[in-house]
Each structure stands twice: as structure tokens, then as C-alpha cells.
Amino acid sequence: MNMVEYSIRTEDLTKTYEQRILKGYYDPGSMALGSGGHFFYSLWKRLLGKKVVIYALNRVNLAVRRGELVCILGPNGSGKTTLIKILAGLLLPTAGRAWIMGNDVVKDRREVVRAITYIPSFVASIAWANPAATVWTNLQRAGKLFGFSEEEIQEALKLLDIHHLKDRIFGTLSSGQQARVTIALGLLKNARVFLLDEPTMGLSPEASKSIREYLKKMGHEMGATVLYATNIVWEAMDFAERVVFMDDGRIIADGNLRDIIRKLGMPEVVTVEVYNIYFKPENLLREIESFHYSVECVNPGVGWYTIRLEVKDSGEVLSKLLSCLVNMGGKVRRVEVKQPDLVDTFIRLMQKRGVES
């Protein structure tokens, strides 16, 4: 694998924590040890408890090309935040390696910090700013810290369309405007990699969409690489070119949505409303290859039925079904084909993991 092609790469990246568990139930507050109950309980747990290793990340292998927009999607506790923090140099891995722009996140942390902009949730990401100062004053202070000129600050404000906010008090801005000012800092750093951990948490839907649009613009027009972690499915649908599904510290699927759906063998749902049918449609449906079908009789007086099928290829099945219905005198009222989307894929992956575990 050519390291130069990739902004982000991990190799068997693992992060574990040790925890000791005592069998049975213990209530330190009820122990006859007075105020020292909690202390002795902790001591007993450390000495007598069974050691359990918890995997926050378990041999994660990920490669993200330069300029790629990738969304990490998974439930709480799936390992998204741990992965982002290791890549940002905020956590050390237990095993494995990771690189940002070819720099090892452990050995070359200074170069990694220069190459990235790390944005956690909205609440954490604005901690750098003085809410009583203006936007311009806050950015000037950050500029002095990182060595940015006033011309560079002006350019970042124009690029994010917030130049008109520079004299506003930071604390009076909307959440979306504050988040855009924070992203301006990333532009000032000329960051080549953006690591975002649920950055729109606490933002309005309008502000969230605005942030995602700016991130896409940076990826497409400026060649920045964006790794965006979220547990909100529709955010991933709106943002990502590629989705990485995580659960229990592992990557369980990776690719564009169409490829993942094909690998999972997820069905398309065909719905046909037809009338003037005076025979049992089930007899016809048994001859059509499908994962599952159902028939609802809406009005037997006019032979009105609603037919639903889960099929692998809707084009082939629909052509055969409609031809048979029409040849037998049926009048088609409505045809609908529902392709599996990211929500369906996420649910199917979680169900599959539940069965396997």
C-alpha cells in the first residue's frame, strides 16, 4: 500500500482497558465499615476481582485516501470516539499503528497535530473562544498562537461566508455561526485532515446541514480529507461518499452504500396495487422468486389487492409480475419500488451482529 496516497491509515489498531469485577452483589454503603466502606470495597475489588479486558478498538484496519469524505457510523460505545482520539494524538493505542499524512500518530505527534483539525462535539469545540470577545478578537488571539497573519484570517472568514460576523460578540452568535467560526480555525491551520467526532451535537438541523455543506466544499474544492463520526444515520446519508460501520470496537462494513447493500444481499421492496383480479394472487406469486411476499385484499368486490414482495432484482421480477397480472385481466393502479437505504442497512447490520454474538 502506497502511504503517500492516504491521509489516514491504521494497521491492526487496538485499544483495551482492564476492569476488575467481583462476583455477586456488594453494597459498600451498607457495609459495617462506616465511611471507609467505599475504600475497602475498591480495595477488595482490586485484589479479589476477576480481571476483564475490554476492547474499545479491536484490530481496526482503515485506509482513507486524500480528499475523501468518510463517515464512521455506529451506536454509542462502538469505538468511534476512541478511533478519532487516537488519530488526533489524544489517546495512545494499546497495539497496532496509525498514520496521518504518513506520520506515525505516536512517534510523530507534533507533525500529526500540525496536519489535523480535531473538532469534537459542538459544546467542546467552542471551549477555545472567549464568549465576551468579538469573533475577530478571538481569531486574532488564535492567530498569534498558531502564527497566522491578519490577511489569512480575513481569507478564512470570506471563504466560510462569515466576514460580516467579525465584529459580533462571539457569545451572541447562533450555534451554527459559532461552529463555522471554529471550522475557520481549521482553515487557518491549512489542515489537510479534519477529524470530527459528532460535531453537530447540540446544533439545530439547519446549522448541522450548513456545517456538513462547508465540510463537503472543503473536501471537493480544497482537497481536505474529512473523517466524520456520528450515530445519526441521516447525517451520514446527507454527507458521506463512503460509510464505515463500526460496532463493538470493530469495522463490520466499509464502502459506498450500493456495495454494502449488494454484499449484504438486502432486498428491494416492490408494491403493486391492482384491481379486477378474481383469482388468488398467491398462486401467481409462488412462481416468482422472492425472499418474502404478502397479499392484502383491499376490496374483494372489485378484485382490488395490494401485493408486496421482497426481491433481489426488482427490474426482472416487476416485468414478469406486471405482464402476468395484465394478461389475466388485471388493471394496475400503482407500482412502487423501495430501494434499501442507509437506515435499512444500519438496522440489518445491527441485527446481523446480534445474531452472530
> pLDDT digits over 163-176, tens only?
899 999 988 988 77
Query: Are the beta carbons of 61 and 79 closer than 8 angstroms?
Result: no
Of 18-22, 246-250, 316-320, the least confident: 18-22
pLDDT given for residue 61 in this prediction: 97
Residue 19: phi and psi, rounded to 5, are: -140, 140
pLDDT of the residue at 167? 93
Same domain, 147 and 215: yes
pLDDT tops 60 at residue 79:
yes
Question: Phi then psi for 116, rounded to 5 degrees?
Answer: -115, 160
213 and 307 assigned to the same domain = no
Same-domain status, 125 and 151: yes
Q: Which of 198, 229, 262 is the last residue before a domain boundary?
A: 262
303: domain CATH number? 3.30.70.3100
Torsion angles phi and psi, residue 299, rounded to 5: -150, 100
The neighbour count for residue 223, using CB atoms within 10 Å, is 12
CA gap 21, 246 in Å, rounded: 26
Looking at the fold, whether 253 and 281 belong to one and the same domain comes out as no
Q: Is 26 part of a structural domain of the chain?
A: no
Q: Are residues 158 and 301 in the same domain?
A: no
Q: Mean pLDDT for the chain?
A: 82
**Same structural domain, 225 and 289:** no
Note whether residue 35 is domain-resident: no
Number of separate domains in the chain:
2
In a domain, 344, yes or no: no
102 and 135, same domain (yes or no) = yes
Question: Both 221 and 322 in a single domain?
Answer: no
Q: pLDDT-based confidence at 256, cuts 50/70/90?
A: confident
- Ranked by mean pLDDT, which of 40-44, 98-102, 188-192, 197-201 comes out on top? 98-102
Average of per-residue pLDDT across 149-166: 82
Report whether 126 contacts 134 (CB < 8 A): no
Q: Is the pLDDT of residue 23 over 70?
A: no
Range picked from 71-85, 95-109, 111-125, 222-236 for highest mean pLDDT: 95-109
Contact assessment for residue 67 and residue 222, using Cβ atoms and an 8 Å cutoff? no
Say if 350 falls within a structural domain. Answer: no
Residue 122 and residue 247 in one domain: yes
- pLDDT of 356 > 90? The answer is no
Range of the domain at 108: 6-15+55-262
pLDDT band at 44 (very low <50, low <70, confident <90, very high): low
CATH number of the domain encompassing residue 87: 3.40.50.300
Percentage above 90 pLDDT, the chain: 29
Residue 328 has pLDDT above 80, yes or no: yes
**Portion of the chain with pLDDT greater than 70, in percent:** 83
pLDDT, residue 218, reads 77
Given a cut of 60, whether residue 31 has pLDDT beyond it is: no
Give Cα 250 to chain centroid, integer Å.
14
297 and 169 belong to one structural domain: no
The CA dihedral of 76, 81, 83, 85, to the nearest 10 degrees, is: -170
Q: Give the DSSP H or E segment for 100.
A: strand 95-100
From 221, 244, 262, the end of a domain falls on 262
Helices (H), ranges, 147-251: 150-159, 175-188, 205-222, 233-239
Helix, strand, coil abundance in the chain, percent, nearest 5 = 45, 30, 30
Does 205 or 32 have the greater pLDDT score?
205
186: confidence class by pLDDT, cuts 50, 70, 90? low
76 and 106 belong to one structural domain: yes
